[in-house]
């Protein structure tokens, strides 16, 4: 019986959700949570009829799905993997999709057509010359900025964007960090495993004409996700950097002129270094989870079972009265961990 229960649970865990009613999943969750197969034999025997009655007697709940997979039916067949960036590059009111070298034009919400414009690698949209058209920054290789020409084609800005000091980068963000009205760029530096690592860099935008290096990281950490927000509500964009390889994360506080101070440790968002290491953070997201006007932070950590590796975390921004420190609300949020 012990083996049977375990095998049933494992079978259900491998089964597609659309073919199994929600009732089975509720039961499966319970079996795993309580590890029923580890209970003493006698208790297990007495519980067995209850399980059977539960599965057979309770009316089946319909399988629930919040989303339909329309990838193929809207023409996105062959959609590449990697990093996705939505943006209405041709200004027709329909948001288009760029995914690691593939540009897909949204045809009035009915389908997507693949457009060949010569981009390569992952990228992010931003209007760096303030002409109302979204331009693209791609961070693979030496890095490239492409200027949008009327929503039809793009011009490689060439030397107007300096060569990146990285061989591998996995993330970047646009933001007007020096508050001059032009979008600047923060690029994370990653690694060539195991020995090479590359610095993060900030480029300032000079009047929508060119970019110049403004800052390069001295103490190198292996960055993945980069995300900017004004967490301290002083009017300038601050930056959160998700670092990998059990390294602490950074929260870079802006002085309004793109001079940054890493305040992650004092505000409680560097990770749980008390355990002897930090996390394998991949990406993080800002959002006001509790509608109190202060931007909170979700930190997405990949981790193996050892407890010293940081888990994903919901971090609540305590606001001005508490110097914008963050409090870990992961337990309260019922955040589930899986490897």
Q: Which stretches of the chain bind Ca ion, using CB under 5 A?
A: 88, 90, 92, 94, 96, 106, 127, 129, 131, 133, 135, 148, 176, 178, 180, 182, 184, 230, 232, 234, 236, 238
Task: Collect all residues with Cβ–Cβ distance below 8 Å to 273 and sequence separation of at least 6.
Answer: 248, 265
Q: Which is nearer to Ca ion, 112 or 190 (CB)?
A: 112
Q: Report, in Å, the least distance between residue 62 CB and Ca ion.
A: 36
Element containing residue 52 per DSSP (H, E): helix 41-57
Spatial contact of 273 and 279, defined as CB atoms under 8 Å apart? no
User: Which letter does DSSP use for residue 133 in this model?
Assistant: S
Q: Which is nearer to Ca ion, 88 or 156 (CB)?
A: 88
Q: Which residue has the tokens 């305040």?
A: 263
Q: Which is nearer to Ca ion, 197 or 200 (CB)?
A: 200
Q: Which residue has the tokens 């008390």?
A: 274
Q: Which is nearer to Ca ion, 184 or 296 (CB)?
A: 184
What Cα–Cα distance (Å) separates residue 5 from each residue in 17, 37, 56, 114, 170?
Answer: 19, 6, 16, 49, 43
Task: Collect all residues with Cβ–Cβ distance below 8 Å to 145 and sequence separation of at least 6.
Answer: 128, 135, 136, 137, 156, 157, 160, 161, 211
Q: How many CB atoms lie within 10 A of CB 176?
A: 17
Q: Report, in Å, the least distance between residue 140 CB and Ca ion.
A: 21
CA gap 281, 241 in Å, rounded: 9
Q: Which is nearer to Ca ion, 176 or 266 (CB)?
A: 176
Q: Which is nearer to Ca ion, 10 or 234 (CB)?
A: 234
Q: Report, in Å, the least distance between residue 91 CB and Ca ion.
A: 7
Q: Which is nearer to Ca ion, 250 or 301 (CB)?
A: 250
CA gap 100, 63 in Å, rounded: 34
User: Which letter does DSSP use for residue 247 in this model?
Assistant: B
Q: Report, in Å, the least distance between residue 233 CB and Ca ion.
A: 7
Spatial contact of 113 and 107, defined as CB atoms under 8 Å apart? yes
Spatial contact of 298 and 287, defined as CB atoms under 8 Å apart? yes
Angle at which helix 41-57 crosses helix 22-34, to 10 degrees, equals 170
Q: Report, in Å, the least distance between residue 329 CB and Ca ion.
A: 22
Q: Report, in Å, the least distance between residue 194 CB and Ca ion.
A: 36
* SS3 (DSSP) at 332: coil
Q: Report, in Å, the least distance between residue 138 CB and Ca ion.
A: 15
């Amino acid at each position: 019986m012990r083996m049977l229960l375990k095998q049933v649970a494992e079978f259900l865990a491998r089964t597609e959700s659309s073919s199994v009613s929600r009732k089975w999943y509720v039961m499966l969750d319970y079996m795993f949570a309580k590890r029923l197969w580890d209970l003493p034999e006698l208790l297990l025997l007495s519980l067995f009829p209850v399980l059977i009655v539960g599965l057979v007697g309770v009316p089946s709940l319909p399988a629930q799905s919040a989303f339909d997979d329309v990838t193929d039916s809207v023409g996105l067949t062959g959609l590449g993997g990697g990093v996705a960036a939505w943006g209405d590059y041709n200004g027709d009111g329909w948001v288009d999709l760029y995914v690691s070298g593939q540009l897909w034009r949204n045809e009035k919400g009915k389908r997507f057509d693949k457009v060949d414009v010569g981009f390569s690698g992952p990228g992010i949209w931003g209007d760096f010359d303030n002409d109302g058209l979204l331009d693209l920054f791609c961070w693979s290789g030496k890095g490239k900025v492409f200027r949008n020409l009327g929503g039809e084609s793009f011009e490689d800005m060439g030397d107007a964007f300096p060569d990146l000091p990285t061989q591998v980068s996995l993330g970047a963000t646009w933001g007007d960090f020096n508050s001059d009205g032009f979008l600047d760029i923060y690029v994370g530096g990653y690694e060539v495993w195991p020995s090479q690592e590359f610095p993060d860099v900030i480029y300032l935008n000079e009047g929508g004409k060119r970019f110049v290096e403004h800052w390069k990281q001295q103490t190198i950490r292996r960055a993945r996700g980069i995300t900017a927000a004004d967490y301290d509500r002083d009017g300038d964009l601050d930056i959160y950097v998700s670092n990998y390889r059990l390294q602490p994360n950074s929260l870079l506080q802006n002085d309004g002129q793109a001079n940054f101070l890493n305040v992650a440790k004092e505000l409680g968002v560097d990770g749980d270094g008390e355990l002897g290491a930090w996390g394998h953070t991949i990406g993080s997201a800002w959002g006001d989870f509790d509608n109190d006007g202060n931007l909170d932070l979700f930190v997405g950590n990949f981790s193996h079972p050892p407890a010293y590796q940081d888990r994903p975390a919901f971090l609540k921004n305590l606001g001005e009265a508490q110097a914008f420190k963050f409090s870990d609300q992961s337990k309260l949020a019922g955040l589930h961990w899986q490897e």
